[in-house]
Structures are given as C-alpha cells and as structure tokens.
Amino acid sequence: MWSYFANPERFDRLARALLPWCWGVAAALFAIGLPWALYFSPGDYQQSDTVRIMYVHVPAAWLAMFAYAGLGGASFVYFIWRHNLADLAARAIAPAGAVFAFICLATGALWGRPMWGAWWVWDARLTSMLVLFLLYLGYMALRGAIEDEKLSARAGAILAMAGLINLPIIKFSVDWWNTLHQGASVFRFDGPTIDPSQLWPLAIMALGFTVLYLAFVLTQMRAMIMERRAEALERRRERRLELEAEL
C-alpha cells in the first residue's frame, strides 16, 4: 500500500480528490462546534466562561502530540523505504505541529492568568509541551540549514526518530519533576469525568481541528510536489535554451 501511493502522480490525484472534502468537513465541524463551544455550552461552575478556552486549547494540545507521532512515523518510513513522499509529509507536518504547540501554549497562558493567577507556571505538562515546541523548532532549523535535499531529508528523519524515542522519557522526567496541571479527564480507564454537555462540543472541535490539520498537510504536500515539478520544468527549459544558443 505504501508503494502504491508513493508515486507522486497517484498521490496527487488522491489528494486532489480528498482536499475539497477535508476543507468542507472542517468548515462544517467548525460551523457547529465553534458556536456550541463558545456560546451554547454551559460555563463551568468554578471557571465560568474561561472554560471555553479549553475547546481550543485541548484539541491543539492533542494535535501537537499527534503531529509529532506523524512526523516520527513519516520519518521512519522515509528512513527505511526512502519514499520521497514520506519526507514531503514530514516536512509538511513539522510547521503544522509547531503551530498547534504554540496555540496550546498561548491559550494555556491566557487561561492560566485568571485561573492560576500566573501567565506561566513551571508545571510538568506545560514544560513538556514547551520542550515539544523546541523539538519542532530544532527539526525545522536543521532542515533549513542543510541545502542538499537528500541529506536534509535523512538528517531530519534521524533527528525526528531520536525525538520520538526521547519524548516519553522527557514526559516522565518532567512529571517526576513537578505536577500542578489537572490530570486527564477525557481519556481515562474509568470513562471521562467531563460532563456530556461539554464533552460533545469538545469532541466536535477536536475532530474539526484534526480534519483541518489533514487539509493543511495535504495542501502543503501538493504545493511541494508542484514546486518540484516547476523546478524540473525550469531546468529543462534552461537546457533547451542553452542547446538552441549552441546551434
């Protein structure tokens, strides 16, 4: 299956068919989710309206982590099978993941100010999200610093895989170090502890964010494929002009 879609031509056709659906479904989910989350859902009995920040904050946090798993997975596929598309996927995922990590940190700060009385506290979850953000930045800086495309792809893949191995250890060490953030309240063994009136808009927002993320990544990948094709055409044109000049 990998190899079937590893052909850029075939991938492009698939992406072109999928993309309108992705954008459409994301728009529809946000059309339902945003008003529900930001207006119709009940406020919290302690946090009142500030709880609404959660509907952006939590999906962004999930996606920042999910995207790093995607980055690591794509890097692994590139490193083993050398499929160019996997590298394009990794390159497209990194900025999206970094932006989600940043959104998570920024909305967390906005929420922390009224709730904890501080823009930032050195809590385990906040700190590991900050480290994740730094991992994304390091990956993008390394990719940007290497001009040779193949070398950039391989070095990036090695770094992304190292980060993936290290991420659970970082998470553990930082948890050990300090914990103030509330524990998980959605994914728990004994079922979610969050009320359905808030769980539903949260679920819709999370799904909307995920589809939006897919749309971003696919669009970016298509853009990169087209960029490559344009460069190849440009080179061919230059060569033809040179030949004509010689004649």
Partner 1 sequence: MSALGAIFTRELRLAFAGGGGPAGPAAFNLAALALAPLAIGPDAETLQAAGPGVIAFAALLATLQPAERIFSEDASDGTLELYALSPVGLALSVFMKTLAFILAVFWTTPLLAFVGGLAYGMDVTSAFVLALGLGFAAPGLAFIAAFAGALAAGLKRAGLLIALIAAPLQVPLLVFAAGAGRAAMDGTGLEGPNLMMALAGSLAALALAPFGAAAALKARLE
Task: Give the helix ranges, DSSP H, for 7-117.
Answer: 8-35, 54-81, 84-116
Distance, in Å, from the CA atom of 186 to the CA atom of 204, rounded to the nearest integer, reads: 14
As a residue count, the chain comes to: 247
d(CA 189, CA 158): 34
Of 174 and 205, CB closest to partner 1: 174
Smallest distance, Å, CB 240 to partner 1?
31
Task: Quote the least distance from Cβ 133 to partner 1, whole Å.
Answer: 9
Least distance CB 174 / partner 1 (angstroms)? 7
Using an 8 Å Cβ cutoff, are 34 and 204 in contact? no
Q: Which of 62, 50, 44 is nearest to 111 (CA)?
A: 50
Q: Least Å distance between CB 79 and partner 1? A: 8
Q: How far is the CB of 95 from partner 1 (least distance, A)?
A: 16
Kindly tell me which of 59 and 97 has the beta carbon lying closer to partner 1: 97
By beta-carbon proximity to partner 1, the closer residue of 52 and 83 is: 83
Instruction: Closer to partner 1 by CB, 108 or 163: give it.
Output: 163
Contact 100, 84 (CB under 8 A): no
Pick the closer one to partner 1 by CB: 132 or 225: 132
Positions touching partner 1 (CB under 8 A) are 131-132, 134-135, 137-138, 141-142, 145-146, 150-151, 154-155, 158-159, 161-163, 165-166, 169-170, 172-174, 176-177
Helices 54-81 and 196-246 pack at an angle, to 10 degrees, of 40
Q: What is the CA radius of gyration of the chain?
A: 21
At 54, the amino acid letter reads M
Tell me the β-bridge partners of 48.
Answer: 44
Q: From the CB of 92, what's the least distance to partner 1, in Å? A: 20
Comparing CB distances to partner 1, the nearer of 147 and 246 is 147
